[in-house]
């Protein structure tokens, strides 16, 4: 088999890349180790930046997003028993975030690719990438017991943090920078009508908590827990008790309790590789970087990488220019490090760190007080939260 761009991974990065390439007449094949059903139902992120929303609508995959997405023009920070609103749209010239689940983005992109006759292979095994420093790199894999090989012009490694592409570059050519946090998030999806129309990030002496939602009937909630937390120790009653203890405010606000539909624990790390390229292998999304979830940036960063990559590949085929491909990594890393900084800052401001003392507690409260009362402080938060402009 032969294609222009072989794409490993059908997450938001791989699928959006395939879609953008198709729109400029470039052929790709997407290879995914999981089933279509699995990736269309995997519960993960849910907050889209303005630029992600604009890209989806602008490229014809925003119909359901426009019908079902919940546009939020503000976000709340709760501490010391009180809630404070940051007016995102007012501070950023009308930009906002939209709550729309990652698996819905995945469904919309798969639908668009299949509708356009795009090639996708699910449930591939033993995938490997070869001859990366040649002009004809190859992807080998097995599907339904049969071995296949695809010869490509380029390979896009969009296979997430645990994928195989990043590890396929020779040792020593890629450097990694990392922070692992001494806590995790326990997340639930609950059948309960959201009692706030907008998200609430809570700082509490018992630990961080987050109120979010998926629809007018479904709430999404998270609480800071131990990194190795055993879910068996968290029956639903205990989860609700802890969420309410952290989130209840002086005015009596609390999340509504309801049946728990899904429960999971996610570790937290910051991770970046440099460069995001080796030969004709280009890495994008979680394959190249991870952010802690505070700030909701993981999915959005994956989308901004492939937007840059698709433009560089288009310039190669249409204008014979290789310079944008050479600059791909440096171009993306400027945004990635700003988003890493924001996610690290949000995480540091809102979580309880082991060994923290009264000084740390007061410093965190002062920072929250500052960013919810100073117009300059609120603007710094707002312009990062809705998404920095694409360069």
Q: Which residues contact 271 (CB under 8 A, 6 or more apart)?
A: 161, 176, 177, 178, 179, 289, 290
7 binds, among ligand FAD, ligand DHB, none (CB under 5 to 8 A by kind): none
Name the nearest CA neighbour of 45 among 185, 243, 230: 185
157 binds, among ligand DHB, ligand FAD, none (CB under 5 to 8 A by kind): none
Which range of residues in 7-15, 353-361, 368-376, 379-387 is near ligand FAD by CB under 6 A?
7-15
Which one of the listed residues 204, 289, 297, 351 is annotated catalytic?
Answer: 297
User: Nearest distance from residue 180's CB to ligand FAD, in Å?
Assistant: 15
Name the one range near ligand FAD by CB under 6 A: 28-36, 190-198, 313-321, 364-372.
Answer: 28-36
Instruction: State the binding partner of 247 from ligand FAD, ligand DHB, none, CB within 5 to 8 A by kind.
Output: none
Q: Is 77 exposed, middle or buried (0-12, 13-18, 19+ CB in 10 A)?
A: buried
Count of residues engaged in binding ligand FAD, rule: CB under 6 A: 31
Stretch that binds ligand FAD, among 142-150, 268-276, 289-297, 372-380 (CB under 6 A): 289-297
Pairing mode, strands 154-157 and 5-8: parallel
Q: If contact means CB under 5 to 8 A according to the sort of partner, which of ligand DHB, ligand FAD, none does residue 294 touch? A: ligand DHB
Question: Whole-number minimum distance, CB 355 to ligand FAD, in Å?
Answer: 26
Partner from ligand FAD, ligand DHB, none binding residue 302, C-beta < 5-8 Å depending on class:
ligand FAD
Give the angle subtended at the CA of 273 by the CAs of 166 and 103, to the nearest 5°: 65
b/e per residue, 51-67, with b = 16+ CB within 10 A? bbbebbeebebbeebee
Q: Give bridge partners of residue 176 from the DSSP assignment.
A: 273
The yes or no reply on residue 302 touching ligand FAD (CB under 6 A) is: yes
- The span from the CA of 380 to the CA of 34, in Å, is 39
CA distances from residue 278 to 175, 259, 309, 382 in whole angstroms, order as listed: 12, 48, 14, 35
Q: What's the rounded Cα separation, in Å, for the pair 166 and 161?
A: 9
| 160 contacts ligand FAD (rule: CB under 6 A) | yes
Residue 83's nearest CA partner among 189, 175, 209 is 209
Closer to ligand FAD by Cβ: residue 6 or 62: 6
| CA-to-CA dists, residue 257 to 47, 89, 210, 218, angstroms | 22, 30, 14, 11
Nearer to ligand FAD, 131 or 369 (CB): 131
Catalytically annotated residue among 19, 22, 72, 351: 72
- CA distance readout (Å), 107 to 39, 100, 101, 103: 9, 12, 10, 6
Query: Can 72 be counted among the known catalytic residues?
Result: yes
Q: How far is the CB of 258 from ligand FAD (least distance, A)?
A: 19
Among 5, 45, 110, 283, binds ligand FAD (CB under 6 A): 45
5 binds ligand FAD (CB under 6 A): no
Contacting positions for ligand DHB (CB under 6 A): 45-47, 199, 210, 212, 220, 293-296
In the region spanning residues 55 to 74, those forming contacts with ligand FAD, defined by CB under 6 A, are none
> What minimum distance in Å lies between the beta carbon of 222 and ligand DHB?
7
Out of 3, 5, 7, 11, the only residue in the binding site for ligand FAD (CB under 6 A) is: 11
Taking the C-alpha atoms of residue 186 and residue 227, their distance in angstroms, rounded to an integer, is: 9
User: Considering the rule CB under 6 A, would residue 157 count as an interface residue with ligand FAD?
Assistant: no
Query: What, of ligand DHB, ligand FAD, none, does residue 212 touch, CB below 5 to 8 Å by kind?
Result: ligand DHB
| Residue 124 near residue 29 (C-beta atoms within 8 A) | no
Residue 267 CB partners (closer than 8 Å, separation 6+): 180, 181, 184, 227
DSSP 31-59: E-SS-HHHHHH-----EE-HHHHHHHHHT
Q: Does 44 bind ligand FAD (CB under 6 A)?
A: yes
- From the candidates 12, 194, 255, 293, which is the catalytic residue? 293
Query: Please, which residues have CB within 8 angstroms of residue 11's CB and are 6 or more apart in sequence?
Result: 39, 106, 158, 159, 160, 285, 286, 302
* Site stretch for ligand FAD (CB under 6 A), options 11-19, 112-120, 241-249, 355-363: 11-19
Binding site residues, ligand FAD, CB under 6 A:
8-14, 31-34, 39, 44-45, 102, 124, 127, 158-160, 163-164, 266, 285-286, 293, 296-299, 302
| Catalytic residue list | 72, 201, 293, 297, 385
């Amino acid at each position: 088999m032969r294609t222009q761009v072989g794409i490993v991974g059908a997450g938001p990065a791989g699928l959006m890349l395939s879609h953008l390439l198709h729109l400029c007449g470039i052929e790709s094949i997407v290879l995914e180790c999981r089933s279509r059903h699995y990736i269309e139902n995997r519960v993960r992120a849910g907050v889209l930046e303005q630029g992600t929303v604009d890209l989806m609508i602008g490229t014809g995959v925003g119909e359901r997003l426009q019908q079902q997405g919940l546009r939020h023009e503000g976000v709340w920070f709760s501490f010391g028993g009180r809630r404070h609103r940051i007016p995102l749209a007012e501070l950023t010239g009308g930009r906002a975030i939209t709550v729309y689940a990652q698996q819905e983005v995945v469904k919309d992109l798969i639908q668009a690719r299949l509708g356009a006759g795009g090639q996708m292979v699910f449930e591939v095994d033993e995938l490997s990438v070869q001859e990366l420093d040649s002009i004809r790199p190859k992807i080998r894999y097995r599907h339904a017991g049969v071995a296949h090989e695809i010869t490509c012009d380029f390979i896009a490694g969009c296979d997430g943090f645990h994928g195989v592409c990043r590890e396929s570059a020779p040792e020593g050519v890629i450097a990694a920078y990392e922070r692992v946090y001494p806590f995790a998030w326990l997340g639930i999806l609950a059948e309960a009508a959201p009692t706030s129309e907008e998200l609430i990030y809570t700082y509490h002496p018992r630990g961080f908590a987050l109120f979010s939602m998926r629809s007018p009937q479904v709430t999404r909630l998270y609480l800071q827990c131990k990194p190795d937390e055993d879910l068996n120790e968290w029956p639903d009653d205990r989860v609700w008790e802890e969420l309410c203890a952290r989130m209840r405010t002086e005015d009596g606000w609390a999340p509504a309790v309801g049946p728990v539909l899904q429960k999971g624990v996610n570790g937290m790390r910051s991770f970046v590789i440099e460069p995001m390229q080796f030969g004709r292998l280009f890495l994008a999304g979680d394959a190249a970087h991870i952010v802690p979830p505070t700030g909701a940036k993981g999915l959005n960063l994956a989308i901004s990488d492939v937007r840059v990559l698709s433009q560089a590949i288009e310039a190669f085929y249409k204008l014979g220019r290789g310079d944008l491909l050479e600059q791909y990594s440096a171009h993306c890393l400027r945004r990635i490090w700003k988003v890493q900084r924001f996610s690290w800052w949000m995480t540091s401001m809102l979580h309880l760190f082991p060994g923290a003392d009264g000084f740390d507690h007061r410093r965190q409260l002062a920072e929250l007080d500052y960013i919810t009362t100073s117009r300059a402080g609120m603007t710094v938060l707002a312009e990062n939260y809705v998404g920095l402009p694409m360069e």
